[in-house]
Structure 1
Amino acid sequence: MARVMIEGYPHRLGGHCGSASLRDLIGWAGLGWDGPPGEALVFGLAGGLSFHWMSIPEVSPLLYLGGRGGDMELDLCGRLGVAVERRQTEDPAEGWAWVTRELDAGRPVMVWAEILQLPYLRVRLSNTRHALVIVGYDTEAGVAYVADNDREEIQEVPLDALAKARDSDGFPGRNRHATYPMRFPDSLPELLPAAREAAAGSAARLRGDDDLSGLLPENISDAHGLEGISRFTTGLADWPRDLAPDDLSRLYRSLAVYIEKAGTGGALFRRLQSGFCRDVAALTGDPSFGEAAHAYAACAETWSALASAVTAPNPDHATIARTAAALPALEEQALETLAAAGGQP
């Protein structure tokens, strides 16, 4: 076919690529609970809340901060009864055929793309696992049409640029034309049991079950979970002593980006997690999720305060250290409320 387009695709801006893409796809499928779910509800139902602090020699400055688990998109689909597989290939023709087969059948399809190769984005950090949804293509014009959480309108992308973006060896690894064909059920499972299962999954991640050390190159160290938060915040207090002023300034700027702007939904995903708990409480009347919503709102406020402190015109190191030092206790308290909402002791 020369031109194929999924008309009326319900795309909206979002704070995080994966949960926003899945939100739109669930809305396209006509599913939800008392209406289509919002991004926060989708994020939380994936059970993806986490914490990772990595030292990466190839990244300058040598810092990567993450707040989500690696396979939350697959986890969400499994929890909601959406049939999905992640296909990857070294063959660009095969990878593109997976996409056109879905679109020709009238189905939008989620893929991974390297943000540095997407012409409508202006970014400096590499991310080969940026999720977006392809909603059409035109072979005569040589373009594809994509829905990206970072842009309100559907974007037109040259096919050659999209192919490069789908086979990049940037950070955190080669994406190999990753494609997620999905088949949606007629209805979604009951919300409260699914939310409890997701809350328990996130609590387990933060208690230490999200160890990526065996999956990472040997030159990359990873501190994760509550222990990772404690190690990170303690180490941050020593930066002014250990780093030259220019290096410290670069680290501070990077830290703020990772907390607020690097597709985290704000406050290192804690704002999305608070919204998830709030939505579940509102839709089900479960008070334990209401308590968790308040606890993660406090975490979100403190992470955002840290981002503001490190990007102040003249950063006050005592204020930065004090703000960071409050995070481990807040995160531990929030984890306890999340575990309780998930039915865990």
Structure 2
Amino acid sequence: MNKNSLKNSGLKIEESKMIIENLKPFDGQHCETTATGTLLRQLNIELSEPMLFGLGEGLGFIFWNMKSMNFPFIGGRIKPDVLTQNIARNLNLELTVKETSSTEKAWENVKTLINSGQIVGLKLDCFHLEYFSRPFHFAGHYAAIYGYDNDNAFLVDTKQQGRQVKTTLKSLAMARAEKGPMASKNLFYTLKLSDKKFDLKKAIPTAIKNNATEYLNPPITNIGYKGIYKTSSEIIKWFNTSKDLENDFKTTAALMEKAGTGGALFRNLYRDFLKESYDLLQIDEIKCGQEAFVEIAELWTSVVQLFEKVSHTKDFKYILQASDILKSISSKEKQAMELLGRI
């Protein structure tokens, strides 16, 4: 591709700089839907973040003690990578995912795609990203890259992280190559249209039923509704053994409500997905499920608020209150997903 054709395709090129100028950054709260949503917008597919999360069959739960974190990880979604796989399948898109252990090859592969005008999704450990104000090791983070120069990579991340951001090429290489839980070998991915159109009216019920089946059949007891119930007792152990109650529960509360890992944010997204789906399909079970998740989302926010109170007061009574609410959430989510599985 010569410079003239690059210019005509909406790209700006210099000897050591490439920016995809006709970028339409996705405005999202959750990292993987934000990155994948940005790739979709380049294909002129405009869907809301709740719709992407729902089509990604994204609702889940995990409580996990990771060696890389000083406190337990509370996750409210299915495992990394699978969300985008589900979106691509339900929208009949071609998803290409590649990994390599070579840092140099990893960058050359992405650079070649950007030079051809292709926005690329990246999987990263956000600890190394310089625009994170409170860095922590989490290797299941996603961003879309749309340009670079001699020193920096230009990314689309969540609105909490600044939306259109930059980080040095060195820091990006470290973020892509980091090892540990949820990490991949410099993973990157692209999306392309296929010769098959997608039909939301067919894709939505399929995604809902698939998500319900997955959620209701957890392989181990720290996943799904069973994991939420287990968390109700695990947080008591955590309170009694924590070496830094203030930081542990403050950080967890922020992650759960805002940063796209824990319960509250994802329940809000799933609630809104069900609302959009009911408006389109008028299926009664979807409406009942949506109403259930209105309450469930509020309960998750209550848990977050209690974690914040634990952080400020170190008072055990707030942990006991959070434990009781988690037991209730476990039961309510199980019932809601059983209902949705019958559509």
Deviation at 1:268, TM superposition (A): 4.9
Alpha-carbon shift at residue 52 of structure 1 (Å)? 0.7
The match for 1:4 is 18
Question: Helix, strand or coil: the match of 1:11?
Answer: coil
Deviation, structure 1 residue 88: 0.8
The residue aligned with 1:275 is 272
What is the TM-score of this pair, normalised by structure 1?
A: 0.84
One-letter amino acid matched to 1:18: E
Alignment of 1:189-338 (within 5 A): 189-209=198-218, 211=220, 223-237=222-236, 242-243=240-241, 247-264=244-261, 267-312=264-309, 313-314=312-313, 317-338=316-337
Equivalent position of 1:175 in the other structure:
184
Q: CA deviation at 1:267?
A: 0.6
| CA distance 1:184–1:60, shift in 2 (3 Å) | same
Residues 327 and 174 of structure 1, relative CA distance in 2, 3 Å threshold: closer
Aligned to 2:134, the other structure's residue is in SS state: coil
1:50 matched to 2:47: no
Give the counterpart of 1:87 among 79, 98, 106: 98
Distance in 1 between the 2:195 and 2:262 partners?
29
Residue 38 of structure 2 is matched in structure 1 by: 24
Runs of 5+ consecutive residues of structure 1 not aligned to the other structure: 212-221
User: Are the structure 2 counterparts of residues 319 and 145 from structure 1 closer, same or farther at C-alpha, using a change threshold of 3 Å?
Assistant: closer
> What percentage of aligned pairs have identical amino acids?
22
Q: Give the superposition deviation at 1:155.
A: 1.9
* CA shift for structure 1 position 126: 0.7
- Cα contact 1:53–1:64 (8 A) shared by 2: yes
Give the 3 Å change call, closer, same or farther, for CA 338–175 of structure 1 in structure 2: same
- Matched to 1:314, the amino acid is T
User: Closer, same or farther in 2 for the Cα pair 1:285/1:265, shift >3 Å?
Assistant: farther
- Choose the corresponding residue for 1:98, options 77, 102, 109: 109
Structure 2: where are the runs of 5+ without partners? 1-14
Superposition TM-score, scaled by structure 2 size: 0.85
For residues 75-113 of structure 1, the C-alpha deviation after alignment (integer angstroms, 9 at most, x for no partner) is 221221111132111112221122122222221010112
Q: Is the Cα contact below 8 Å between 2:255 and 2:262 reproduced in 1?
A: no
Q: Letter of the aligned partner of 2:85 in structure 1?
A: L
1:263 partner amino acid: G
**Equivalents in 2 of 1:200, 1:49: separation in Å?**
12
Q: Alpha-carbon deviation of 1:311?
A: 1.3
| Aligned length in residues | 324
Q: 1:238 to 1:165 in 2, by over 3 A?
A: closer
Aligned residues of 2:59 and 2:77 also touching (Cα < 8 A): yes
Gap change, CA 1:6 and 1:187, over 3 Å in 2: farther
**Greater CA drift, 310-319 or 280-289:** 310-319
SS at match of 2:86: helix
The structure-2 alpha-carbon separation of the partners of 1:69 and 1:256, relative to structure 1 and needing over 3 Å to count, comes to same
2:47 aligned residue:
37
Aligned match for 1:67, one of 66, 76, 86: 76
In 1: Cα distance, 2:38 partner to 2:76 partner: 22
1:273 counterpart SS class: helix
Report the RMSD for the aligned CA atoms in angstroms.
2.5
Show CA shifts across 1:251-299 (max 9, x none). 4334313421332487151111111111111233333222212211211
Distance in 2, matches of 1:315 and 1:306, equals: 15
1:309, 1:316 within 8 Å by CA — same for their partners in 2? no
In the aligned structure 1, how far is the partner of 2:106 from the partner of 2:335? 43
2-side partners of 1:3 and 1:154: how far apart? 17
Deviates more, 1:3-12 or 1:301-310: 3-12
**Alpha-carbon distance in structure 1 between the residues aligned to 2:29 and 2:177:** 24
- Alignment partner for residue 193 of structure 2, among 166, 184, 190? 184
Structure 1 Cα separation of the partners of residues 286 and 197 of structure 2: 20
SS at match of 2:98: coil
